[in-house]
């Protein structure tokens, strides 16, 4: 298939582009810059210049594709609400361009906030809450209701030895403040997956696209305790590791304070059963131990 991939030059999207091409698919990758376009061309993909704000570039990229995978998202959390609105418009535009055809759309969402304090499953539906304004999955569900073949990939902390999702921000904060902190007893958990495992799941979802909507969890580890993560960061940076009170979280972590004390474990049992996906990459702690702080 010819697959239009937004975010194709990003952390997950570039691994996905390589995964798709390795399986015999053609990739049309959205690229914001000449450097990004060159990186795609170097691996044999077709670069398509544009970005999420350029809705015409999304329409023209979709027009030449057999399927669309939406990986792009602006992670500048200083304007998170605006970025979520940009994401919503982009998904709606992709859906409009696909409407009336049998071409599938895969949208990226997250597992955070699905079922705080218990193990989230693929059958849990997303909640809309003020401090979590991202509505990627809700927008995809509306498109599915209009007849589009739609899948949602819910991501946890996606990692390798260079980046680790929200954990990368924990590292930056610990480096800046000279202390690696966790909230309360630190027993709250974040689920995780290696980025190559996540890329493989997108491909399997593409190749096994059902009618209607499907929801998948790209979860390799159901829950890694935050205290364990903080201790690895502390050793890597050679800084003290300490607990802070929940009411101190926003002051210490900034925007990340809304997530730092969340217990967000999730299962991928149904995903593995439905797609035959088996995560095989290193775990989050192993990648943190191997990284160069």
User: Which residues in the chain land under pLDDT 50?
Assistant: none
Strand-pairing partners, residue 183, are 244
pLDDT at 22: 97
- pTM of the predicted structure, to 2 decimals: 0.96
Domains along the chain with CATH numbers: 2-159+192-220+267-282 (3.40.50.720)
pLDDT at 128: 66
C-alpha angle 10-13-16 in degrees, rounded to nearest 5: 145
User: Is the separation of the CB atoms in 70 and 108 below 8 Å?
Assistant: yes
**H or E stretch at 284:** helix 284-290
Cα atoms in the 13 Å half-sphere on the side-chain side of 247: 0
Edge-to-edge strands, sheet with 213-217: 46-49, 26-31, 2-6, 67-70, 105-110, 150-155, 213-217
Dihedral angle over CA of 206, 195, 127, 94, nearest 10: -40
Encode pLDDT of 34-44 as tens digits.
999 999 999 99
pLDDT at 120: 96
Cβ burial 103-128 (10 Å sphere, 16+ → b, else e)? bbbbbbbbbbbbbeeebbbbebebee
pLDDT at 167: 97
Give CA–CA dist 159/136, Å, rounded.
Answer: 21
Q: Six-digit token pair at 178?
A: 């000279």
- Radius of gyration of the chain from its Cα atoms, rounded to whole angstroms: 19
pLDDT at 78: 81
Q: How many beta carbons lie within 10 A of that of residue 175, not counting itself?
A: 15
pLDDT at 277: 98
pLDDT at 131: 59
pLDDT at 115: 87
């Amino acid at each position: 298939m010819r697959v239009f991939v937004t975010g194709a030059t990003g952390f997950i999207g570039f691994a996905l582009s390589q995964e798709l091409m390795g399986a015999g698919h053609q990739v049309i990758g959205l690229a914001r810059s000449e450097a990004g376009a060159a990186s795609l061309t170097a691996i044999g993909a077709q670069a398509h210049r544009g970005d999420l704000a350029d809705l015409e570039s999304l329409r023209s990229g979709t027009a030449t594709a057999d399927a669309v995978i939406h990986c792009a998202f602006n992670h500048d959390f200083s304007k998170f609400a605006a970025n979520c609105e940009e994401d919503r418009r982009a998904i709606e535009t992709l859906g409009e361009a696909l409407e009336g055809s049998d071409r599938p759309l895969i949208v990226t969402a997250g597992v955070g906030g699905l079922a705080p304090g218990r193990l989230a499953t693929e059958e849990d539906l997303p909640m809309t809450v003020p401090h979590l304004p991202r509505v990627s999955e809700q927008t995809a569900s509306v498109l599915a209701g209009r007849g589009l073949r739609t899948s949602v990939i819910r991501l946890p902390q996606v990692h390798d030895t260079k980046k680790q999702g929200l954990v990368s921000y924990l590292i930056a904060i610990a480096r800046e403040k000279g202390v690696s902190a966790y909230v309360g007893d630190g027993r709250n958990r974040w689920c995780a997956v290696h980025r190559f495992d996540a890329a493989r799941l997108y491909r399997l979802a593409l190749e096994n696209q059902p009618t209607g909507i499907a929801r998948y969890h790209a979860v390799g580890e159901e829950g890694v305790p935050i205290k364990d993560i903080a201790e690895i960061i502390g050793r890597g940076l050679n800084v003290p590791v300490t607990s802070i009170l929940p009411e101190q979280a926003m002051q210490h972590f900034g925007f990340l304070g809304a997530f730092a004390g969340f217990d967000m474990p999730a299962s991928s049992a149904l995903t593995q059963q439905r797609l035959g996906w088996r995560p095989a990459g290193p775990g989050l702690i192993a990648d943190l131990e191997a990284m160069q702080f």
